Amino acid sequence: MDENIRKLKELIDGSDNIVFFGGAGVSTESGIPDFRSVDGLYHQTFKYPPETILSHTFYETHTEEFYQFYRAKMLAPDARPNAAHYKLAQWEQEGRLKAVITQNIDGLHQKAGSREVLELHGSVLRNYCTRCGKFYDLDFILHTTGVPRCECGGVVKPDVVLYEEPLDENVMAQAIRYIRQADVLLIGGTSLVVYPAAGLVQYYRGSKLAVVNKGVTGAALRAAVTVDGPIGQTLAQL
């Protein structure tokens, strides 16, 4: 076993108050590409960069193009949880992991059995009519074309936080509370570049910060343990 993974195992095994904070890298091992990954085909289909399309302004002004991108790039109905999702769910069932805080919107943590999941950026599994508030599931979005509309005529919008939109204050407050009270804070699959979510790490007061990510993150500077590698492969060894 790699020395850094052995140190991580010691940290995890010695704690019953672990909080996990994760991002896109947790889901890439389930076959969900980071939406920022732009390949040659991308430019044949879309005229704008992903960050532009996923903004509130673009949603309001180019609604049909927004949904074209959303269905093509943001939905992965066949994706299944990987070793990282299952290991986190296992730790929660054992009473050692208190919460999963995620920047992902794919619902894979819940599919793996995690219960206390704080979704900072919302979820593609929830969609609401902007006029009457009626709930619609993922299947509804997948089986509509163009702009999805409610039976009342209103636009059905995903419960996903777009650029320019604020994060849910209640979810943020819960996340801060869990991070503040954590013994071990495990950060995985995120480069911590998206604010305000990335700023949450500053609320951690402990000395057992662990970072697992392909490539280094900003948080690694104060980490007790750093593992450079895929989160699923790493957690499977613990």
Average of per-residue pLDDT across 5-27: 96
Q: Which domain holds residue 26?
A: 3-32+80-121+166-235
182, 206: one domain:
yes
Whether 47 maps to a domain, the answer reads yes
Asked whether the bond before 158 is cis by omega within 30 degrees of 0, the reply is: no
Tell me the C-alpha distance between 26 and 40, whole Å: 25
Q: Are 116 and 99 in contact (CB under 8 A)?
A: yes
Amino acid identity of residue 16, one-letter, is: D
45, 110: one domain:
no
Whether 132 maps to a domain, the answer reads no
Greatest extent of the chain over all pairs of C-alpha atoms, in Å:
59
Amino acid identity of residue 134, one-letter, is: K
DSSP label of 207: S
98, 68: one domain:
no
**Catalytic residue positions?**
121
Predicted confidence (pLDDT) at residue 219 exceeds the cutoff of 90: no
Whether 136 maps to a domain, the answer reads no
- Sheet holding 122-129: strands in order across? 135-136, 122-129, 156-160
Average of per-residue pLDDT across 138-155: 98
pLDDT in tens, 28-61: 999 998 766 666 667 778 899 888 999 999 999 9
User: Cβ atoms within 10 A of the Cβ of 170, count?
Assistant: 9
pLDDT in tens, 61-82: 999 999 999 999 999 999 999 9
47, 114: one domain:
no
pLDDT in tens, 89-118: 999 999 999 999 999 999 999 999 999 999
68, 92: one domain:
no
68, 93: one domain:
no
110, 211: one domain:
yes
**What total of structural domains would you count in the chain?**
2
22, 60: one domain:
no
173, 55: one domain:
no
Q: Residue length, the chain? A: 238
Of the listed ranges 79-83, 198-202, 214-218, 221-225, the least confidently predicted one is 214-218
3-state class (DSSP) for residue 4: helix
Predicted confidence (pLDDT) at residue 194 exceeds the cutoff of 80: no
